[in-house]
Structure 1
């Protein structure tokens, strides 16, 4: 999906920017009150990845619900088709 690709491209871009400009995590570390900039970077990435996993879990649940609904609809339609076929066969006899 495009959204997933954009997410990973954005994460890669952020990591490149952080590696080019180490002042950014240093300022954020002081702002948040974390000991070392590397700890801030790891903590930020862990938080972002946990958020991504949570959003993917929500999406999987939605897809499972959709799959269940579609399966039920197909089953009902198959049953109706078989019922109609049997009624037509009985009429023809």
Structure 2
């Protein structure tokens, strides 16, 4: 049998807290998508959504299972990125049409 110290980290505990940056990423992403047609707010709010998502994923990976929320961080980054692309596309297409 191998000692416990050499075992890889197991799945996160049910009681493990969700990383706060992962939650912030989702909140900024939802706010960015809600403001997508209010240029430049949709594009501006997408930036902190992505950066807090990246920071959250780094902290979750470094915690070795003591924090959860990796999927929330990825979701926030995706929503924020989609909001940025949609806001910029609406601005460009609005400029071309008018």
- TM interval, shorter chain, is 0.3 to 0.5
Task: Using structure 2 for the length normalisation, give the TM-score.
Answer: 0.34
Task: Using structure 1 for the length normalisation, give the TM-score.
Answer: 0.36
Structure with greater helix share of residues: 1
Question: Higher relative contact order at CA 8 Å, sep ≥6: structure 1 or structure 2?
Answer: 2
